[in-house]
Amino acid sequence: MSRKLGSFVLGLFFFLSMFCFYMPVPVMAGGPIVLNYANFPPAPTFPCVQMEEWKRKVEERTKGKVLIQTYPGGTLLKAKGMMDGVIAGTADIGCLCMAYQPGRFPITNAISLPLGLPNSTVASLVLWELYKKYTPRSFAKVKVLTMFTTAPSNIMSKIPIRTLEDIKGVPLRASGGAAQILKAWGANRVGMPMPETPEALQKGVVKGLFSSLEVLKDFKFAELCKYVTITNTAVYPFAVVMNMDSWNRLPKDVQKVMEDLGREQCIWTGTYMDNHVAEALEWSQKTQGVEVIKLSKEEKARWDKLLDPIVDQWVKDMTAKGLPAAQIVEDIKSMIKKYE
Ligand code: DTR
Protein backbone atom coordinates (compact mmCIF):
# COMPACT_ATOMS: atom_id res chain seq x y z
CA MET A 1 0.00 0.00 0.00
CA SER A 2 2.68 2.46 1.06
CA ARG A 3 4.82 1.35 -1.92
CA LYS A 4 1.90 2.17 -4.20
CA LEU A 5 1.54 5.57 -2.58
CA GLY A 6 5.29 6.11 -2.96
CA SER A 7 5.30 5.42 -6.68
CA PHE A 8 2.18 7.57 -7.11
CA VAL A 9 3.91 10.51 -5.41
CA LEU A 10 7.07 9.89 -7.48
CA GLY A 11 4.99 9.72 -10.67
CA LEU A 12 3.18 12.92 -9.75
CA PHE A 13 6.51 14.60 -9.09
CA PHE A 14 7.88 13.60 -12.51
CA PHE A 15 4.67 14.68 -14.21
CA LEU A 16 4.78 18.09 -12.52
CA SER A 17 8.50 18.61 -13.14
CA MET A 18 8.00 17.87 -16.85
CA PHE A 19 5.21 20.41 -16.87
CA CYS A 20 7.46 22.97 -15.20
CA PHE A 21 10.26 22.24 -17.66
CA TYR A 22 8.14 23.17 -20.63
CA MET A 23 6.68 26.35 -19.17
CA PRO A 24 8.30 29.62 -20.41
CA VAL A 25 10.87 30.97 -17.95
CA PRO A 26 8.98 34.01 -16.63
CA VAL A 27 5.93 32.01 -15.46
CA MET A 28 7.80 28.91 -14.28
CA ALA A 29 8.44 29.90 -10.72
CA GLY A 30 5.26 31.91 -10.54
CA GLY A 31 7.53 34.72 -9.33
CA PRO A 32 9.12 37.71 -11.00
CA ILE A 33 11.29 37.67 -14.13
CA VAL A 34 14.86 37.93 -12.83
CA LEU A 35 17.42 39.81 -14.94
CA ASN A 36 21.14 40.08 -14.12
CA TYR A 37 22.70 43.52 -14.69
CA ALA A 38 26.54 43.67 -14.78
CA ASN A 39 28.63 46.78 -14.24
CA PHE A 40 32.40 47.22 -14.15
CA PRO A 41 33.27 49.97 -11.63
CA PRO A 42 32.65 50.01 -7.85
CA ALA A 43 29.13 50.56 -6.48
CA PRO A 44 29.45 54.25 -5.43
CA THR A 45 30.49 55.44 -8.92
CA PHE A 46 28.06 57.05 -11.36
CA PRO A 47 27.59 54.08 -13.78
CA CYS A 48 26.40 52.03 -10.79
CA VAL A 49 24.32 54.83 -9.26
CA GLN A 50 22.40 55.10 -12.54
CA MET A 51 22.10 51.28 -12.63
CA GLU A 52 20.38 51.26 -9.21
CA GLU A 53 18.10 54.09 -10.31
CA TRP A 54 17.12 52.18 -13.50
CA LYS A 55 16.50 49.04 -11.44
CA ARG A 56 14.28 50.99 -9.04
CA LYS A 57 12.21 52.49 -11.86
CA VAL A 58 11.83 49.20 -13.77
CA GLU A 59 10.77 47.28 -10.67
CA GLU A 60 8.33 50.00 -9.69
CA ARG A 61 6.83 50.47 -13.17
CA THR A 62 6.46 46.75 -13.85
CA LYS A 63 4.81 46.45 -10.42
CA GLY A 64 7.14 43.73 -9.23
CA LYS A 65 6.84 41.66 -12.41
CA VAL A 66 10.57 42.15 -13.01
CA LEU A 67 13.43 41.86 -10.53
CA ILE A 68 16.82 43.30 -11.47
CA GLN A 69 19.83 41.73 -9.76
CA THR A 70 22.76 44.13 -9.93
CA TYR A 71 26.45 43.16 -10.02
CA PRO A 72 28.72 46.22 -9.56
CA GLY A 73 32.52 46.17 -9.33
CA GLY A 74 33.17 43.76 -12.23
CA THR A 75 31.87 40.78 -10.25
CA LEU A 76 29.96 39.38 -13.24
CA LEU A 77 31.68 41.09 -16.22
CA LYS A 78 34.70 43.40 -16.43
CA ALA A 79 35.16 46.66 -18.36
CA LYS A 80 36.56 45.35 -21.65
CA GLY A 81 34.55 42.12 -21.70
CA MET A 82 31.16 43.76 -21.11
CA MET A 83 29.82 43.84 -24.67
CA ASP A 84 30.86 40.31 -25.57
CA GLY A 85 29.70 39.01 -22.19
CA VAL A 86 26.21 40.39 -22.78
CA ILE A 87 26.13 39.05 -26.35
CA ALA A 88 27.11 35.62 -24.98
CA GLY A 89 24.46 35.83 -22.23
CA THR A 90 26.82 35.83 -19.23
CA ALA A 91 24.68 38.74 -18.05
CA ASP A 92 21.25 39.79 -19.33
CA ILE A 93 22.19 43.46 -19.12
CA GLY A 94 25.56 45.24 -19.04
CA CYS A 95 26.85 48.80 -18.78
CA LEU A 96 29.89 49.58 -20.91
CA CYS A 97 32.21 52.47 -21.55
CA MET A 98 32.61 52.63 -25.33
CA ALA A 99 35.91 54.50 -25.03
CA TYR A 100 37.57 51.31 -23.78
CA GLN A 101 37.06 49.73 -27.22
CA PRO A 102 37.52 52.73 -29.50
CA GLY A 103 37.63 50.85 -32.81
CA ARG A 104 34.46 48.91 -32.04
CA PHE A 105 32.06 51.85 -31.74
CA PRO A 106 33.31 54.43 -34.25
CA ILE A 107 30.06 56.38 -34.70
CA THR A 108 29.09 56.81 -31.04
CA ASN A 109 32.72 57.37 -29.99
CA ALA A 110 32.66 60.49 -32.19
CA ILE A 111 31.10 62.16 -29.15
CA SER A 112 34.60 62.16 -27.58
CA LEU A 113 35.95 64.50 -30.26
CA PRO A 114 36.81 68.00 -29.02
CA LEU A 115 33.63 69.62 -30.33
CA GLY A 116 32.74 71.72 -27.30
CA LEU A 117 30.17 69.53 -25.55
CA PRO A 118 29.35 71.71 -22.54
CA ASN A 119 28.14 69.21 -19.94
CA SER A 120 26.91 65.69 -19.39
CA THR A 121 23.20 66.46 -19.79
CA VAL A 122 23.63 67.98 -23.25
CA ALA A 123 26.26 65.42 -24.30
CA SER A 124 24.06 62.50 -23.20
CA LEU A 125 21.11 63.82 -25.21
CA VAL A 126 23.33 64.35 -28.26
CA LEU A 127 24.70 60.81 -27.93
CA TRP A 128 21.21 59.31 -27.64
CA GLU A 129 20.00 61.21 -30.71
CA LEU A 130 23.13 60.25 -32.63
CA TYR A 131 22.51 56.60 -31.79
CA LYS A 132 18.84 56.82 -32.82
CA LYS A 133 19.74 58.50 -36.11
CA TYR A 134 22.48 56.10 -37.18
CA THR A 135 21.56 52.87 -35.27
CA PRO A 136 25.19 51.73 -35.69
CA ARG A 137 25.93 48.17 -36.76
CA SER A 138 28.17 47.74 -33.70
CA PHE A 139 24.99 47.37 -31.60
CA ALA A 140 23.12 45.02 -33.97
CA LYS A 141 23.55 41.98 -31.71
CA VAL A 142 22.10 43.61 -28.57
CA LYS A 143 19.13 45.68 -27.47
CA VAL A 144 20.32 49.15 -26.46
CA LEU A 145 18.43 50.27 -23.34
CA THR A 146 20.01 53.68 -22.84
CA MET A 147 23.15 55.75 -23.41
CA PHE A 148 24.79 58.64 -21.58
CA THR A 149 28.15 60.34 -21.26
CA THR A 150 30.40 61.63 -18.52
CA ALA A 151 30.88 65.35 -17.95
CA PRO A 152 33.79 66.89 -19.92
CA SER A 153 37.28 65.71 -18.92
CA ASN A 154 39.83 67.64 -16.91
CA ILE A 155 43.33 66.86 -15.68
CA MET A 156 43.77 65.60 -12.11
CA SER A 157 47.45 65.34 -11.17
CA LYS A 158 49.99 64.97 -8.40
CA ILE A 159 52.00 67.86 -9.83
CA PRO A 160 50.66 71.28 -10.86
CA ILE A 161 50.05 71.65 -14.60
CA ARG A 162 49.71 75.33 -15.47
CA THR A 163 51.22 75.49 -18.97
CA LEU A 164 51.87 73.25 -21.98
CA GLU A 165 55.47 73.05 -20.83
CA ASP A 166 54.31 71.48 -17.52
CA ILE A 167 52.37 68.67 -19.20
CA LYS A 168 55.20 67.60 -21.58
CA GLY A 169 56.01 63.92 -21.04
CA VAL A 170 53.90 63.56 -17.87
CA PRO A 171 52.37 60.05 -17.66
CA LEU A 172 48.60 60.57 -17.47
CA ARG A 173 45.88 57.96 -17.74
CA ALA A 174 43.10 58.26 -20.35
CA SER A 175 41.17 56.05 -22.77
CA GLY A 176 39.55 56.31 -26.21
CA GLY A 177 39.20 59.69 -27.88
CA ALA A 178 40.65 61.42 -24.82
CA ALA A 179 43.96 59.72 -25.63
CA GLN A 180 44.34 61.78 -28.83
CA ILE A 181 43.82 64.93 -26.83
CA LEU A 182 46.48 64.13 -24.24
CA LYS A 183 48.91 63.16 -27.01
CA ALA A 184 48.29 66.46 -28.79
CA TRP A 185 49.20 68.33 -25.61
CA GLY A 186 52.43 66.33 -25.31
CA ALA A 187 51.55 64.18 -22.29
CA ASN A 188 52.67 60.57 -22.07
CA ARG A 189 49.25 58.95 -22.42
CA VAL A 190 48.78 55.67 -20.54
CA GLY A 191 45.65 53.65 -21.39
CA MET A 192 43.64 51.55 -18.93
CA PRO A 193 40.02 51.26 -17.75
CA MET A 194 39.02 53.34 -14.74
CA PRO A 195 38.96 50.49 -12.16
CA GLU A 196 42.72 49.94 -12.70
CA THR A 197 43.57 53.61 -12.16
CA PRO A 198 43.72 53.75 -8.32
CA GLU A 199 46.54 51.20 -8.25
CA ALA A 200 48.41 52.87 -11.12
CA LEU A 201 48.25 56.18 -9.25
CA GLN A 202 49.34 54.64 -5.96
CA LYS A 203 52.27 52.82 -7.56
CA GLY A 204 53.30 55.93 -9.46
CA VAL A 205 52.82 54.32 -12.91
CA VAL A 206 50.88 57.48 -13.76
CA LYS A 207 51.07 60.97 -12.26
CA GLY A 208 47.44 61.74 -12.87
CA LEU A 209 44.43 61.11 -15.03
CA PHE A 210 42.14 62.77 -17.52
CA SER A 211 38.46 62.27 -16.74
CA SER A 212 35.28 63.85 -15.46
CA LEU A 213 35.88 65.25 -11.98
CA GLU A 214 33.35 63.28 -9.93
CA VAL A 215 36.06 60.59 -9.56
CA LEU A 216 37.95 62.95 -7.22
CA LYS A 217 35.37 61.97 -4.62
CA ASP A 218 34.02 58.60 -5.81
CA PHE A 219 37.50 57.03 -6.13
CA LYS A 220 39.04 59.37 -3.52
CA PHE A 221 41.57 60.54 -6.13
CA ALA A 222 41.58 63.92 -4.36
CA GLU A 223 43.70 62.28 -1.65
CA LEU A 224 46.49 61.71 -4.20
CA CYS A 225 45.90 64.31 -6.91
CA LYS A 226 46.09 67.73 -5.33
CA TYR A 227 45.83 69.66 -8.61
CA VAL A 228 43.04 69.99 -11.14
CA THR A 229 43.67 71.75 -14.45
CA ILE A 230 40.42 72.81 -16.08
CA THR A 231 40.31 71.90 -19.78
CA ASN A 232 36.64 70.89 -20.17
CA THR A 233 37.20 68.63 -23.15
CA ALA A 234 36.38 65.01 -24.11
CA VAL A 235 33.28 63.31 -22.71
CA TYR A 236 33.25 59.51 -22.49
CA PRO A 237 30.24 57.65 -23.95
CA PHE A 238 28.50 54.76 -22.15
CA ALA A 239 25.83 52.30 -23.30
CA VAL A 240 23.53 49.96 -21.39
CA VAL A 241 22.86 46.91 -23.54
CA MET A 242 20.74 43.78 -23.18
CA ASN A 243 21.20 40.27 -24.50
CA MET A 244 18.93 39.89 -27.54
CA ASP A 245 17.36 36.57 -26.41
CA SER A 246 16.70 37.94 -22.93
CA TRP A 247 15.04 40.95 -24.57
CA ASN A 248 12.93 38.86 -26.95
CA ARG A 249 11.71 36.70 -24.07
CA LEU A 250 10.26 39.69 -22.19
CA PRO A 251 6.51 40.32 -22.29
CA LYS A 252 5.51 43.30 -24.45
CA ASP A 253 4.40 45.46 -21.52
CA VAL A 254 7.80 45.03 -19.83
CA GLN A 255 9.58 45.86 -23.08
CA LYS A 256 7.49 49.02 -23.30
CA VAL A 257 8.50 50.12 -19.80
CA MET A 258 12.18 49.71 -20.76
CA GLU A 259 11.75 51.41 -24.16
CA ASP A 260 10.07 54.38 -22.55
CA LEU A 261 12.90 54.67 -20.04
CA GLY A 262 15.69 55.00 -22.64
CA ARG A 263 15.71 58.78 -23.06
CA GLU A 264 14.51 59.47 -19.53
CA GLN A 265 17.42 57.52 -18.06
CA CYS A 266 19.85 59.30 -20.38
CA ILE A 267 18.66 62.69 -19.03
CA TRP A 268 18.58 61.46 -15.42
CA THR A 269 22.18 60.25 -15.61
CA GLY A 270 23.43 63.41 -17.36
CA THR A 271 21.82 65.59 -14.70
CA TYR A 272 23.08 63.43 -11.84
CA MET A 273 26.60 63.55 -13.30
CA ASP A 274 26.64 67.34 -13.72
CA ASN A 275 25.43 67.93 -10.16
CA HIS A 276 27.76 65.33 -8.72
CA VAL A 277 30.82 66.81 -10.47
CA ALA A 278 30.10 70.21 -8.92
CA GLU A 279 29.67 68.64 -5.49
CA ALA A 280 32.84 66.50 -5.80
CA LEU A 281 34.92 69.49 -6.85
CA GLU A 282 33.70 71.55 -3.91
CA TRP A 283 34.41 68.64 -1.54
CA SER A 284 37.92 68.25 -2.98
CA GLN A 285 38.74 71.91 -2.52
CA LYS A 286 37.21 72.26 0.95
CA THR A 287 38.25 69.02 2.60
CA GLN A 288 41.25 67.81 0.56
CA GLY A 289 43.00 71.10 -0.23
CA VAL A 290 42.84 70.50 -3.99
CA GLU A 291 43.93 73.49 -6.09
CA VAL A 292 41.89 74.25 -9.20
CA ILE A 293 44.03 75.71 -11.98
CA LYS A 294 42.27 77.80 -14.62
CA LEU A 295 44.35 78.42 -17.74
CA SER A 296 44.68 82.04 -18.78
CA LYS A 297 43.00 83.05 -22.05
CA GLU A 298 46.30 83.07 -23.95
CA GLU A 299 47.39 79.74 -22.50
CA LYS A 300 44.00 78.16 -23.27
CA ALA A 301 44.28 79.35 -26.88
CA ARG A 302 47.62 77.50 -27.17
CA TRP A 303 46.05 74.27 -25.84
CA ASP A 304 42.97 74.57 -28.08
CA LYS A 305 45.05 75.18 -31.19
CA LEU A 306 46.73 71.80 -30.76
CA LEU A 307 43.33 70.09 -30.81
CA ASP A 308 42.24 71.56 -34.17
CA PRO A 309 43.74 68.78 -36.33
CA ILE A 310 42.05 65.99 -34.32
CA VAL A 311 38.57 66.41 -35.81
CA ASP A 312 39.90 66.76 -39.38
CA GLN A 313 42.04 63.67 -38.98
CA TRP A 314 39.10 61.69 -37.58
CA VAL A 315 36.89 62.74 -40.52
CA LYS A 316 39.61 61.64 -42.96
CA ASP A 317 40.18 58.27 -41.25
CA MET A 318 36.50 57.43 -40.84
CA THR A 319 35.57 58.52 -44.35
CA ALA A 320 38.25 56.12 -45.60
CA LYS A 321 36.45 53.41 -43.60
CA GLY A 322 33.18 54.25 -45.36
CA LEU A 323 31.46 56.21 -42.57
CA PRO A 324 29.58 59.49 -43.20
CA ALA A 325 32.10 61.14 -40.89
CA ALA A 326 31.69 64.78 -41.96
CA GLN A 327 27.92 64.46 -41.55
CA ILE A 328 28.34 62.94 -38.08
CA VAL A 329 30.47 65.90 -36.98
CA GLU A 330 27.92 68.34 -38.43
CA ASP A 331 25.12 66.48 -36.65
CA ILE A 332 26.89 66.64 -33.31
CA LYS A 333 27.49 70.38 -33.71
CA SER A 334 23.87 71.14 -34.58
CA MET A 335 22.54 68.85 -31.82
CA ILE A 336 24.70 70.70 -29.28
CA LYS A 337 23.04 73.97 -30.36
CA LYS A 338 19.61 72.38 -30.16
CA TYR A 339 20.07 71.04 -26.62
CA GLU A 340 22.07 73.91 -25.20
N1 DTR B 1 36.22 59.20 -17.84
C2 DTR B 1 36.08 57.81 -18.17
C3 DTR B 1 34.81 57.20 -17.71
C4 DTR B 1 34.48 57.40 -16.31
C5 DTR B 1 34.27 58.58 -15.66
N6 DTR B 1 33.88 58.37 -14.39
C7 DTR B 1 33.88 57.04 -14.16
C8 DTR B 1 33.58 56.29 -13.03
C9 DTR B 1 33.66 54.93 -13.12
C10 DTR B 1 34.01 54.27 -14.30
C11 DTR B 1 34.30 54.99 -15.43
C12 DTR B 1 34.25 56.38 -15.37
C13 DTR B 1 37.31 57.08 -17.74
O14 DTR B 1 38.25 57.81 -17.45
O15 DTR B 1 37.37 55.89 -17.78
Give the number of the atom of ligand 1 that is nearest the alpha carbon of residue 100. 15
Asked if the model's pLDDT at residue 5 lies above 70, the reply is: no
**Average model confidence (pLDDT) for the chain?**
93
For range 140-146, the mean pLDDT: 98
Please tell me if the CB atom of residue 46 comes closer than 6 angstroms to any atom of ligand 1.
Answer: yes
**Residue 270 CA to ligand 1 centre (angstroms):** 13
Query: Which mutation among 39, 46, 276, 281 tests ligand 1's pocket best, with the greatest number of atoms within 8 A of CB?
Result: 46
pLDDT tens-digit profile of 145-174? 999 999 999 999 999 999 999 999 999 999
pLDDT of residue 29: 54
The residue nearest atom 11 of ligand 1, judged by CA position, is 194
Q: Are 41 and 72 in contact (CB under 8 A)?
A: yes
Q: Measuring CA to CA, which residue among 39, 118, 28 is closest to residue 72?
A: 39
Please tell me if the CB atom of residue 270 comes closer than 6 angstroms to any atom of ligand 1.
Answer: no
**Residue 133 CA to ligand 1 centre (angstroms):** 25
pLDDT of residue 40: 98
Predicted TM-score (pTM) of the model is 0.91
pLDDT of residue 320: 98
How many other C-beta atoms can be found within 10 angstroms of the C-beta atom of residue 203?
8
pLDDT band at residue 30 using 50, 70 and 90 as cut-offs? confident
Q: Measuring CA to CA, which residue among 206, 171, 200, 201 is closest to residue 187?
A: 171
Separation of alpha carbons 311 and 328, rounded Å: 11
Using DSSP's 3-state secondary structure scheme, residue 303 falls into: helix
Q: Domains (ranges, CATH) in the chain?
A: 23-150+236-276 (3.40.190.170), 154-234+284-339 (3.40.190.170)
